[in-house]
Structure 1
Amino acid sequence: MSEGAYQRLWDSSHVTLQELLDQEQPLLEPVPNRERERQSFQYRLSSLYLYYLGLLRRFDTLYDQMVQPQKRRLLRRLLDGVAGRVLELKDELVRADLSESPCLDHVLHDLKLTPADLEVPIPKYFQLEQSSILRERGLMLAEILSKMETLSPKESFPEMHRTNAIILLQSAERARQGRLRAAFMREIRREEERDQKMREDGRHKFSQDQAAITIQKVWRGYLQRKRTLQDRKTEMEFIGMLPSSTQGAPSGFNAVASLGDSVRRLLQVEKEEEYQLAVVKTQDTLKETEGPDLKEKMKEQIRQWFIECHALTGRFPDYPDESLGGSYMIFADKTPEQVKMELETQAQEGKKKDQEKTKEKENEKKEKKKKKGKEDKTKGGEADLTLKVMPSKFVPMINAGHEEYINLWKNRDDSMYPNPSFDPETLREEKRKEMEQEIRIQVDELMRQELKALHLAVDKEEARPLKVPKNKAGKKAGKKKKDKDLTFDRPADSLFKELVMFGFLKKSETVALKDYVGDCLYLGSTLNLAKKLPMPSLFDIRQNIALYGVLRLGSPDIHSMAPLIRSILLVGPPGMGKKMLVKAVCTETGANLFDLSPDNLQDKYPGKAGVQMLVHLVFKVARLFQPSVIWIGNAEKNFYKKVPKEEKEMDPKRIKKDLTKALRLLSPGDRVMLIGTSDRPQLAEMKGLCRTYERILLMPRPDYASRYVLWKHMLEAQVGQAAQSLDISALAMVSDGYTPGHIVQAIQSVLTERRLLQLSKRPLVASEFLGHLAKLEPVYREEEEALKDWYFKTPLGKKMMKLSKDQDAEETKPTKEKKKPK
């Protein structure tokens, strides 16, 4: 695509954005919390969420491929703003639907969208823009690990004498040659037997016509079978039952397209360097040409204000403080009287606000003493009776970017400058404003001194700068307890090295989030109508990880403004891919992986002081080298109800208190996330676990659709087109109850190197996988039901169950009322 095509895509995206911004205001109005109103409210939220997802996908493409540096800066703000709004809407959906995986299939159908539109796009700049940092960090980690390998004793292999080694090799080679000779002799013997049989029975002689007819029959039969197979294949491709045979052909086109994308990224770097040079040059020229005149003009304007104020009031004015804007008020088109009045009113308003706040606090204290219980009940009732969206932090940011686009870039004629290059006029205007701000601060300092001298010389008094009254209540509210730095005298590199050497900071495997394969839930709304709670699919789990983990950790701007999530707990049976998702978060965001699992803590940093030091070290290094993921495997062990005898020496609960304290100290902007994984959460104390982990994601065994997609994806990745002859639907039916880990194990055990070499002669059959599946232990329904029962005891699960009970009660009310008159 050309720059013009991307510009047209940008224009169309802003048309959609304007429509979405118009829909934001009605959502802020409260809605009665009744069944019908709740459904319409959820529908509006869901449609807005889906449209913003599509917009995020477009802005990601535009920011990744547009070359013009000034446009890319605006696109970056818009991309972060839309991503943050998606996160806010996801939280609102969870609050309205009381489920971590709201069912959006009916909204998709109404909006004529596909399940692919539900996919959360991960901005490409997460990895591209920090590639150099990741490379440096990887080299540092590799260097430390290599030093550790040299220090650790190498494994000693048993030595063998040279003669014995030669004898062993000779015997193996002679055995191989013997097997080949035996196979060759077997083939010769068969040929001899065949010849002898033909001599005994005699050869059947064909006439010339009979031989021709026989050859024609065989050849025509072969051609017809080939045509039939081809026709059947094209028909199946046409109806979508087989992947298109042209899928392999576009690989060349894909390679050309990816090459074009790479070329555009190189162009971005070149144009960015040109832009940075132009910025420096423009700043220098503006300072040389316009700076001195502007400085003198400002001084004259302020002096004129001094004189006019003295003529009106008989004394020189007080100079505005920097917190009030300094001399910015004077540079505006206002008379001295207006400026003076504004300063006085601002000071008076500040005093009034303080007085009003103190009065309000006194009144609140009196009312609380009188009506404590009643107020709590009414507040709870009001919260339950209304539904509304919380004010967004990202909508003003998106609005500002949209207005900047309309004022600067919409319907702009770029024929004067090459499209990918920067616009010097816009750059000059931007830098002129920055220069004015810098000069204004310098002039303020000079004119304050001049005004002080005038006060002493003419008014015989010292100047008193007008200051804004300080808000004491606000200061007290903003104060937070700071964590003591136990390692203030140590550099960050030494702390990093120590954690690597003790095995707490590990090198994460490269796993893409898209490799966690699964299909979405197509019948979620139908199950809701049938009063059955739908369970999340593998697709829903992947989406939640992308929203809660990847999007938040990937960008500091998004993390600082998005709803804060410090911790996630993944709950599901073994083999569901919980560790894989943790690695995927690290891969997609370039995060460090810290392992604080109870098994990894054994015999390390003993005692209370040791645990305190360990948690402090991990969280400090995690903050210094952001983004970071702190993983705790078997998270239930930290919150055991009763510690088993065999694990008492390990003391798995010793990290519990320090972990919760450290988590509370994480604030917006600290891109550090705790991710716990557990397959037996019933053993843990519910209160402590739910207090530590803010989001709990249940991972039930995969449904039929997810199993089908998983089998198909894994087999096509291993054997390609040979997987088309397999009955994947039967495999998906038979593997009910098995986890993705079990399916992967079965495929790996069947598709050995030897079996892959035999595929051309002996095609794969579905029955080959059954024996290996039978050896594995499936997840029984009782185990899954136990996990579900536990999940419904969590805070969100309780709300979900309460809502379903309330809905059932509302439905039974009208039937009872109808029966009464009879």
Structure 2
Amino acid sequence: MSEGAYQRLWESSHVILQELLDQEQPLLEPVPYRERQSFQYRLASLYLHYLGLLRRFDTVYDQMVQPQKRRLLRRLLDGVAGRVLELKDELVRADLCENPCLDRVLQNLKLTPADLEVPIPKYFLLEQSTAVRERGLILAKILSRLEPESSQKSFIGMHRTEAIILVQKAERARQGRLRATFMREIRRDEEQDRRIREDGWHKFSQCQAAVTIQKVWKGYLQRKRTQQDRRTEMEFIGMLPSPNQVEHLSIISQACLWEDVRRLRQVEKEEEFQAAMVKAHDSLAETEGPDMKEKMKEQIRQWFIECQSVRMELEMQVQENKKKEQEKSKEKGKDEKKKNKKGKEEKAKKGEVDAVLQVLPSKCIPMISAGHEEYLNTWKNQCESIHPSQNYDSETLREEKRKEVELEIRIQKTPGKKTGKKKEKDLTPNRSVESLYEELVISGLLRKSESVALKDYVGDFQYLGSALSLAKKLPTPSLFDIRQNVALYAVLRLGSPDIHAMAPLIRSILLVGPSGMGKKMLVKAVCTETGANLFDLSPGNLLGKYPGRNGAQMMVHIVFKVARLLQPSVIWIGNAEKNFYKKIPKEDREMDPKRIKKDLTKALRLLTPGDRVMLIGTTSQPQLAEIRGLCRVYERILFMPRPDYASRCVLWKRMIEARGVQPTQHLDISALAKVSDGYTPGHILQAIQSMLSERRLLQLSKRPLVACEFLGQLAEAGSSIQGGGGVPEESVHPPRMALGAQERGLQDWYFKTPLGKKSVKHRMDQLEAEEAKLAKEKKKRK
């Protein structure tokens, strides 16, 4: 795309933004509780439109070259991202669920589930790529110093004669296998010739031979034609890749190349702009600074004169007010009776106030409105031909710097005030960040995170959420919903300090689900998408480290101190239920899992908006923990149930493709998705890896994959759910039943959490209201 195309995209985005800002004011008005569904619909519609706007601003900001426009776009991008997070919180408050059903809204707005995908701004990683690379080099250097002899011990020495004998054995075995295959083919051909000699050749007449050849040839042509028609149909509906895929890939690669070129131009123009800002600031401070000082002195003198006259007028008003108060005191007795009546009326109105839905005031809307006004006043009517090379606008720059210089002079005139802000007690005042960082790496509390993209956590959308809600059934979140929540609660907040400061503060989240649901994968994805450090405070990792009561306090202090100084950071606690055990089992008493419980709670409370540090816990057995303590530490609890049919279809297809295999028509993905009901993504991946060995991959050209080949591996993968034991290949239902029981237990536990209790209470109130309504209707009929 050209610069003009991005300019037009920016202009159309501001048209949409103006429409959304017009919808914000009516949303602040209170809505009666009986109109709850329409209120939720308006919130969801606004949320989806802001998501689309975020996607547009991210595209324009990533490719716009002009430095002043990019600064405005950055403010708008962060403001819109913050508003998306605010609306997400409002949706959760209104729906009393972490996964509100938006399928009906998507359908009415004629959008697709792809429009619900949370876009992760590209600048999260681009702007800190250097820092992430340097941090990775430091971490690798420290780790290499820890085990210098490991690489030498990994290679076992072997004598030359032994190596030759080993190679000879392998070569002879290879030749033996080839010879056996060759002899098998010879015997097969000999057996075929023997049968032909015994049975004799079947003699055809000329007509019979011609008819036979025609049948075979016409059948071959028709099958080929049918196969081609079916492939054309599948390509048309998007179920198979088009034959011009190579051409498309070349076009995409060329577009990516131009994107990289534009990013290089951004860096050049930014350096020029930075130099021009310094020059303009110095010039204005030297030429216009003295005049500004004189003007301010004159304004201060005029202000003192006006204040003096206002003071005299206020004294006169005070005297008049005293006389009026004496007259009013006589009428107070009469008004007391009226007030008692009004008090009863106000108490009656309180019930109405409690049953009102209203959106909280936004921190992001003023920032978005200011950015929109700046666009309208400065950039909307500016012709692009003025700056064809995308250089900065000198007049706009001087105007901005003039305001900055004036503000600096004004600050010099006013004395500064000391703020009495309390600070956390530093237990390591004489330690450098580098030494603390190295200490955490050596002790294993700071780890290198694997590179995992959030989009790799695949899953499909919940298409029947609204239908299930209308049928009084609780819709369970899909893998798509889980990925979206992680992107909203963790990635967007940790990626930018401005977004973190504006968005509702969330310090911690807890991922709850059976083993194999990809909880650790999501933690790694958050670190990958934001470039965050990964700290591991899992109970099993703390065994023997920083012993004693003071040791636990020191450990938590160092982790949170380094996490704040090297933002963004993720503090992960695996098996999070162990920190809040109801009763510590005998096998876990040695590690003392509850020793960091108090210090962890205190450290979390000290995190403020702008501290891009997040605690992420993962657990598959939350029932073992004290629910109050667990919910007090973890502010958001995301329940991860087993994948539904749509998500299993996507999982099978993507995981098989990841092994380098393109699924064909012989492989029934739908059948695999049905038979794997009750299995987690981890079990499906295990079955695929076991089935698609190197030998099986070599046989794909002659023997395509079929669904029945995976049944044995599925049974073996699912046997771990029952605690081991053999499971027959023809039965995969016992694992499904075991996992279903485990999931029901997790679901019952989730309904005991604060948000789960509210959701259950709301549904019970709805049922009672419907029963009362039906009872009234029956009475009327009688």
- Pairwise same-fold verdict (TM > 0.5): yes
What CA distance in whole angstroms lies between the structure 2 residues aligned with 1:344 and 1:670?
A: 49
Contact 1:298–1:440 (8 Å) recurs in 2: no
Residue matched to 1:809:
768
- For 2:377, the equivalent position in structure 1 comes to 407
Q: Do the aligned partners of 2:82 and 2:499 also contact (CA within 8 Å) in 1?
A: yes
- Contact 1:242–1:724 at 8 Å: present in 2 too? no
Which stretch of the first structure deviates more once superposed, 65-74 or 268-277?
268-277
In 2, the alpha carbon distance for the partners of 1:509 and 1:275 equals 37
Deviation at 1:104, TM superposition (A): 0.7
User: Deviation string for 1:264-323 (max 9, x for gaps)?
Assistant: 111111211222232233334445xxx34x3443465567x4xxxxxxxxxxxxxxxxxx
- The amino acid of 2:755's aligned partner reads L
> Which amino acid in the other structure matches residue 426 of structure 1?
T
Code of the residue aligned with 1:799 in structure 2: it is K
Which piece of structure 1 moves more, 789-798 or 722-731? 722-731
Moved more, 626-635 or 706-715: 706-715
Counterpart of 1:766 in structure 2 is: 707
The structure 1 residue matched to 2:291, chosen from 272, 288, 297, is 297
Q: In the alignment, residue 668 of structure 1 is paired with which amino acid?
A: P
**Aligned with residue 668 of structure 1, among 601, 604, 609:** 609
Give the counterpart letter for 1:25 in structure 2: Q
Counterpart in 2 of 1:360?
Answer: none
Q: Within the alignment, does 1:389 sit opposite 2:330 as a pair?
A: no
Partner of 2:726: none
Give the aligned partner of residue 757 of structure 1: 698
Aligned residue number for residue 731 of structure 2: none
Match for 1:715: what amino acid?
A: I
Spell out, residue by residue over 1:542-577, the C-alpha distance to the aligned partner (whole angstroms, 9 max, x if none). Answer: 000000000000000111121100000000000000
CA spacing shift, 1:733–1:191, aligned 2, 3 Å = closer
Are the equivalent residues in 2 in contact too, given 1:3–1:419 (CA < 8 A)? Answer: no
Q: Aligned equivalents of 2:222 and 2:388: distance in 1?
A: 60
- Counterpart of 1:454? none
8 Å Cα contact 1:46-1:107 kept in structure 2: yes
Partner residue, 1:744: 685
Greater displacement, 625-634 / 25-34: 25-34
Q: Distance in 1 between matches of 2:381 and 2:394?
A: 18
Residue 64 (structure 1) aligned with residue 23 (structure 2): no
Residue equivalent to 2:104 = 106
Q: Does 1:636 align with 2:577?
A: yes
Q: What does 1:109-120 correspond to in 2, within 5 Å?
A: 109-120=107-118
> 1:338 aligns to what?
306
Letter in 2 for 1:794: T
Q: Structure 2 vs 1, CA of residues 341 and 651 (structure 1 numbering), >3 Å: closer, same or farther? A: farther
What is the CA-CA distance between 1:417 and the residue it aligns to? 2.1
Residues 1:57 and 1:819: Cα distance change in structure 2 (over 3 Å) = same
Equivalent residue letter for 1:691: R
List per-residue Cα deviations over 1:235-257 (Å, max 9, x = no partner): 23334554544445411111111
Structure 1 CA distance, aligned partners of 2:21 and 2:248? Answer: 39
Q: Given residue 652 of structure 2, which amino acid in structure 1 is its aligned partner?
A: W
Distance 1:300 1:796, change over 3 A: closer
1:185-222 per-position Cα deviation (integer Å, ceiling 9, x unaligned): 33344445555666677767889988777656544433
Task: Find the partner of 1:702 among 643, 647, 659.
Answer: 643
Residues 61-85 of structure 1: per-residue CA shift (max 9 Å, x gap): 0000111111000000000000000
For 2:7, the equivalent position in structure 1 comes to: 7
> Which residue number in structure 2 is paired with residue 782 of structure 1?
741
The alignment partner of 1:721 has SS state of coil
Residues 202/729 of structure 1: CA separation in 2 closer, same or farther (3 Å cut): closer
Change (3 A) 1:383 1:587: farther
Alignment partner of 2:572: what SS?
strand
Query: Which range moved further: 525-534 or 208-217?
Result: 208-217
Alpha-carbon distance change, 716 to 348 in structure 1, aligned in 2, over 3 angstroms? farther
Q: Secondary structure at the match of 1:632?
A: strand
Q: 1:234 aligns with which of 228, 232, 235?
A: 232
- Paired with 1:213 and 1:817, the residues of 2 have a C-alpha distance of 81
- TM-score, normalization by structure 2: 0.88
Residue in 2 aligned with 1:520?
461
Code of the aligned partner of 1:790: W
Letter in 2 for 1:5: A
- 1:347 and 1:495 mapped to 2: Cα distance? 63
Corresponding residue number in structure 1 for 2:89: 91
- CA 1:268 to 1:202, structure 2 compared with 1: closer, same or farther past 3 Å? same
* Alpha-carbon distance in structure 2 between the residues aligned to 1:548 and 1:346: 52
Residues 406-436 of structure 1, C-alpha deviation per residue, up to 9 Å, x if partnerless? 0001121122221522212211222233234
Residues 610/754 of structure 1: CA separation in 2 closer, same or farther (3 Å cut): same
Q: For 2:350 and 2:124, how far apart are their aligned partners in 1?
A: 41
Q: Secondary structure, in 3 states, of the residue corresponding to 1:673?
A: strand
TM-score between the two structures when normalised by the length of structure 1: 0.84
Residue 326 of structure 2 is matched in structure 1 by: none
Aligned to 1:363: none
CA contact (8 A) 1:716 1:723 kept: no
Deviations 1:3-27 (A, max 9, x none): 1111111111111101111111111
Inter-partner Cα distance in structure 2 for 1:346 and 1:599: 71
Q: Label 1:295 to 1:809 Cα distance change in 2 as closer, same or farther (>3 A).
A: same
1:135 Cα offset (Å): 0.5
Note closer, same or farther for the CA distance 1:399–1:344 as it changes in structure 2 (3 Å cut): farther
Does residue 1:128 correspond to 2:96, yes or no?
Answer: no
Percent of pairs identical after alignment? 72
Deviations 1:433-485 (A, max 9, x none): 3234445566x49xxxxxxxxxxxxxxxxxxx9x99x9xxxx8xx854x3321
Aligned to 2:728: none
Equivalent residue letter for 1:816: A
Residue type of the alignment partner of 2:701: S
Structure 1 residues 105 and 7, CA gap change in structure 2 (3 angstroms): same
- Per the TM alignment, residue 705 of structure 1 is displaced from its structure 2 partner at its CA by 0.9
Tell me the equivalent position of 1:462.
none
SS class of match (1:252): helix
**Partner Cα separation in structure 2 for residue 9 and residue 99 of structure 1:** 35
Q: Tell me the distance in 2 between the aligned counterparts of 1:168 and 1:717.
A: 34
* Structure 1, 182-191 or 91-100: larger mean CA deviation: 182-191
Within the candidate set 409, 421, 426, 2:391 is matched to 421
Secondary structure, aligned partner of 1:93: helix
| Separation (CA, whole Å) in 2 of partners of 1:541 and 1:100 | 9
Following TM superposition, by how much is the alpha carbon of 1:528 offset from its aligned partner in structure 2, in angstroms? 0.9
Greater Cα shift, 24-33 or 334-343: 334-343
Shift of 1:752: 1.1
Cα displacement (A) at 1:155: 3.9
Q: Secondary structure at the match of 2:425?
A: coil
Provide the C-alpha distance between the structure 1 equivalents of 2:440 and 2:182, rounded to a whole number of angstroms: 61
Report the equivalent of 2:274. 276
Q: Is the 8 A contact 1:712 1:723 kept in 2?
A: no
CA positional deviation for 1:711: 1.1
Unaligned runs of 5+ in 1: 306-326, 350-373, 446-464
429-438 or 93-102, larger mean C-alpha shift: 429-438
Inter-CA distance 604–710: structure 2 relative to 1 (3 Å threshold)? same
Aligned twin of 1:82: 80
Q: Measure the CA separation in 2 of the matches of 1:136 and 1:562.
A: 29
Corresponding letter in the other structure for 2:380: K
Give the Cα separation in 2 of the matches to 1:178 and 1:112: 64
Secondary structure at the aligned position of 1:250 is classed as helix
Contact 2:280 2:398 survives alignment (8 Å): yes
**Long gaps (5+) in structure 2:** 318-343, 722-734
1:272-671 pair list within 5 angstroms: 272-287=270-285, 291-292=286-287, 294-298=288-292, 301=295, 305=298, 337-338=305-306, 384-418=354-388, 420-439=390-409, 444=413, 480=422, 482-671=423-612
**715-724 or 416-425, larger mean C-alpha shift:** 715-724
Q: Kindly tell me: are residues 302 and 42 of structure 1, through their superposed partners in 2, closer, same or farther at Cα, counting changes over 3 Å?
A: closer
Q: Deviations over 1:38-60 (max 9, x none)?
A: 11111111100010000000000
